[in-house]
Amino acid sequence: MPHAAAMPSEPPFVTTPATDLASARVLFAALQARAKAGGVALRPPPPEPASCCGRGCNGCVWEGFFHAAEYWRQEALALLGLDGQGETLPQ
């Protein structure tokens, strides 16, 4: 069974991990909108860090945020039946 094509208006950042706060916010909003349109419940995305000291620490809170954001993205894609490339998985 062939995969259905991604929605033509599917933004590319939905299929790639967030790399900064702006892309994370857009990614969260896009996947939440798609879930709402499809009647799928997603857990809330990870909260944005509020305690970064700005010194570039090893294990910065932002590193944890982006790892959590990627986990959330993968979970959302699975719940939405997408393969991470914007294509619908066969049922």
The pLDDT score that the predictor gives to residue 16 is 84
The pLDDT score that the predictor gives to residue 1 is 44
Q: Higher confidence at residue 9 or residue 76? A: 76
pLDDT > 60? residue 81 = yes
pLDDT tens digits, residue range 3-62?
444 444 566 656 788 999 999 999 999 999 999 999 999 999 999 999 999 998 998 999
The answer to whether the CB of 65 falls within 8 A of the CB of 51 is no
Between CA 62 and CA 40 the distance in angstroms is 28
Compute CA distances 59 → 33, 47, 53, 64, 71, whole Å: 31, 17, 12, 7, 17
* Stretch 62-66: mean pLDDT: 95
Q: Higher confidence at residue 73 or residue 13? A: 73
